[in-house]
Chain A
Amino acid sequence: MKMDPANPLPASRGRFVTSVLEEDQLSHAKKRPIPRRQLRGPELAVLWLLRIYLLFMIAVVLYQVWSGAH
């Protein structure tokens, strides 16, 4: 991702980039970790319910495909 060390970035161009982009927009800022959020009980319950719903419904779709093919 770095610029070619043999052709270093002119200082003026670096200043131009940092003056136009917000700090979080720079590609190096993407490496900065965002803290993880602890999921609460009801949130986990909803996520699990929807996960089970999705897996069940995909099985339903596959069943329909199978029954349609036969």
Chain B
Amino acid sequence: MVKLSSSAIGAETSAAPAPEITHEDIDRARDRQRVFKARSQRGWLSRTRLLWLLIGPGILVMLGENDGPSMLSYAATGARFGTGFFAPFIVLTFVMAIVVQEMTMRLGAATHRGHAELIFVRFGPFWGWFSMLDLLLGNFLTLITEFIAVRAGLGFFGVPPWLAVLSAIIVLVLALLTHRYWTWERITLAAAAFNLIFIPVALLTHPDWHAFGKALGNWHPLPQGGLSKETLLVIISDIGATVTPWMLFFQQSATVDKGLTRRDIGYGRFDTILGAALASAAALAMLLCTTPLFLHQMDAGSFQAAEFAQALQPAIGRLGASLFALGIAEAGIVALITISISSAYAFGEVARRPHSLNLPVTEGKSFYAVLLLCAAVAGAVALIPGLPLVYVTLVVNAIAVLAMPPALVFLYMLVNDREIMGDLISPRWINFLAGAVVVLLTAAGVLFGLSVIAPGVFARLGGG
């Protein structure tokens, strides 16, 4: 059964001029028609089809955030600390991501407007531009690290850096050539599923499941040396590997572009939780992958992706090491696609230019130009010889954590704004959880700052 909107009813019954219809509208209407059809039928097959039609943005944003620097952060964590405290900690960061991303999905489904646009129109250009600058700076730095990950991953197979970067840009262009949100989403989902390659690689290391299960329950053993500066850096890096500002902008814009409505919010929640479950499984698998380096007391402090694969080769064989390197390259490519699209969505929303993956190139010139320009410039920077990957990764993840509290406060205000959300404003318990996430992220940032500018004070507070 097709639900008629009030405007459609008006168009049928009055002589009012028909609204301007675009290619974007037609493509979205086709997608929505399939949703209506699946919803109107009974039986588990139709329910499954409905689920298949409505999932996407949540899985993409979570697997997209399992990007090059994130996987490298998990790898460094496993190599330095093993599973212990960090296995449940990584799960906790994904719970935080669910809390935050559910709000942004709900905001998109209720308002049909992107995140950048809502900040601009509700709070004014002054705060809007601050948010945009945070996003664009963070995204640009992150894109550089994605290209570095692709370089490092493909470098394991002897692919020269320029060819690796060019290949990543070609994949990005191919994904966009469809000019259809639905097709792009399915292609990117298939590519993102490759993130789970770290699960079989982890199995090749013959993990100690008993110790792993125990660690998930009791958070032990705690990191050696207590809350040292090094431990804090890893904590910050792992948070930044899971909860970042681009995710807010991307999932809300993708929810709008996909055409989700208030009625689809339950499926949107499922999509977000499923995405977090898959991404946390891949992250934990990466932790397990590099735990043998911890057990053999190898110094992996300055390892890049290819070095991890080479160091693991004696334990997991050439095939395992190759899959590991491929997984790193894939993580970079998927994130390259999703992050550059989040920049283009935000630019279009703020500049009031057409912004949709349903747009043909002729109608979305600025959208596609921003998208490709961001990727091309970041790719060029990533080709600078001797770029310190470990440093860039640290900076990117740290900036992501530091930029989250301001971004979350905007999200909190928008999602509790009854004028735009109606009865879909957040219930108290979600507001409580969101507040806890803001406090946790701010506290992590302050501790990090203390460890850098006042190491003496930090040591007296209990740090090393």
Interface of A toward B, CB cutoff 8 Å = 1-3, 9, 11, 13-31, 33-37, 39, 43, 46-47, 50-51, 53-54, 56-58, 60-61, 63-65, 68-69
Contact = CB atoms under 8 A, between A and B. Distances in A.
Interface in B64-114: 111-113
B395 A61 contact: yes
Interface in B3-44: 4-8, 11-12, 18-26, 28-29, 32-33, 36
B402 interface: yes
Given A20-B36, A21-B32, A54-B402, 12 more contacts: A17-B26, A18-B7, A18-B8, A19-B4, A21-B25, A21-B259, A26-B21, A27-B20, A27-B22, A56-B449, A60-B448, A61-B399
Contacts of A43: 413
B278 to A, nearest CB: 28
A8 B134 CA distance: 42
A58 B449 contact: no
Contact of B449 (A19, A28, A34, A57): A57
B259 A25 contact: yes
Contact of B121 (A29, A36, A53): A36
A47 B25 contact: no
A58 B124 contact: no
A60 B413 CA distance: 28
B419 A35 contact: yes
Contacts, number: 143
B409 interface: yes
Contacts of B352: 31
B372 to A, nearest CB: 20
B7 A14 contact: no
B431 to A, nearest CB: 14
Given A1-B354, A1-B363, A68-B391, A20 B29 contact: yes
Interface of B: 2, 4-8, 11-12, 18-26, 28-29, 32-33, 36, 111-113, 117-118, 121-124, 127, 130, 134, 259, 261, 352, 354, 356, 363, 391, 395, 398-399, 402-403, 405-406, 409, 413, 417, 419-420, 442, 445, 448-449, 452-453
B7 A53 contact: no
A17 B409 contact: no
A51 B409 CA distance: 11
A27 B112 contact: no
Contacts of B134: 54
B411 to A, nearest CB: 12
B12 A15 contact: yes
B452 A63 contact: yes
A36 to B, nearest CB: 6
12 contacts: A9-B21, A13-B26, A18-B7, A18-B18, A22-B5, A22-B7, A23-B8, A25-B28, A26-B7, A27-B354, A28-B19, A31-B352
Interface centre among A1, A14, A65, A69 (most CB of B within 10 A): A1
A9 B404 CA distance: 44
A47 to B, nearest CB: 7
Interface centre among A13, A20, A22 (most CB of B within 10 A): A20
A53 B399 contact: no
A58 B399 contact: yes
Contacts of B20: 1-2, 26-28
Contacts of A33: 121
Contact of A60 (B4, B356, B452): B452
A25 to B, nearest CB: 5
Contacts of B112: 22, 24-25, 29-30
Contacts of A25: 25, 28, 112, 259, 261
Contact of B21 (A13, A39, A51): A13
Nearest to B396: A61
A8 to B, nearest CB: 10
A65 to B, nearest CB: 6
A11 to B, nearest CB: 8
Contacts of B356: 27
